[in-house]
């Protein structure tokens, strides 16, 4: 997937464990683990907002785009 979730990096910077984040944003530890590992295909904006509020960061601190991993899936509008 061309969008990489870097939640583990931000958790380390904030010295917070996944368990604490899960409790504070209303998810299970397993759901946070799946987010960290990139095993999810999407995330609700509400969830992203809650994570950003707790970690005091911006969405761009958590998500990184890596182009070119899924060729031929995006059609050019030209």
3: part of which helix (H) or strand (E)?
Answer: strand 3-5
pTM, full prediction? 0.81
User: Is it the case that residue 71 has pLDDT exceeding 80?
Assistant: no
Domain ranges of the chain: 3-65
pLDDT tens column, 1-57: 688 999 999 999 999 999 999 999 999 999 999 999 988 889 999 999 999 999 999
Calculated CA dihedral for residues 44, 18, 6, 13, nearest 10 degrees? 130
Question: Comparing C-alpha atoms, which of 6, 1, 14 is closest to residue 64?
Answer: 6
Distance (Å, whole) CA 12 – CA 20: 12
Give the DSSP letter of residue 26.
T
Would you tell me which CATH number, out of the four given (3.40.50.150, 3.40.50.1970, 1.10.357.10, 1.10.260.40), belongs to the domain 3-65? 1.10.260.40
């Amino acid at each position: 997937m061309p969008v990489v979730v870097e939640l583990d990096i931000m958790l380390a910077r904030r010295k917070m464990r996944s368990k604490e984040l899960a409790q504070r944003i209303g998810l299970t530890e397993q759901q946070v683990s799946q987010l960290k590992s990139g095993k999810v295909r999407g995330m609700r904006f509400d969830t992203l907002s809650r994570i950003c509020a707790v970690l005091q960061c911006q969405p761009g601190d958590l998500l990184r785009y890596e182009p070119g991993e899924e060729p031929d899936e995006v059609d050019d509008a030209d």
